Structure 1
């Protein structure tokens, strides 16, 4: 495991704080079109994911690790299928905690 450049847990709201940095999130796939994936973040906002091609077939939920390159977009480096059932509410809470009172544990 490479710990030299950790990826920050984010939802769409937190993404804008990390433009140009490595981030990690889970999205629900809305659609996939020509190398661009549109997903719904854990806080119910739309994210655009570009970059390395996703694994096929895609499951309903995927983890994306990459560089935040805009307020609502990520340039993906790593994709992981997370299955068809995922607790977005708990993941959203994890993002809030990882960027709040427990930030020092995640960076």
Structure 2
């Protein structure tokens, strides 16, 4: 129950992720990806009340579009202070941008 950082990486076949209420109560940082089959933000993320940083690595454009302000279906994750995307860049390896 003291886990504060979690990285779920290289799960290429992951198409959904369920986070139950009461799970990971102290989690502050969550990183996911690359998981190209994941189609939406795990809905249970709103149970992670201590979460301050959410990162997605090399996800699809459709996944990113779901979080666009005012239009995206997954924009409900706005309560997380930092949401960052890491995208592959042929020159530098990865480049990042903060969604908000």
Q: Same fold (TM over 0.5)?
A: no
Pick the structure with more helix per residue.
1
Q: TM-score, normalised by structure 1?
A: 0.26
Pick the structure with more strand per residue.
1
Q: TM-score, normalised by structure 2?
A: 0.27
Higher relative contact order (CA 8 A, sep 6+): 1
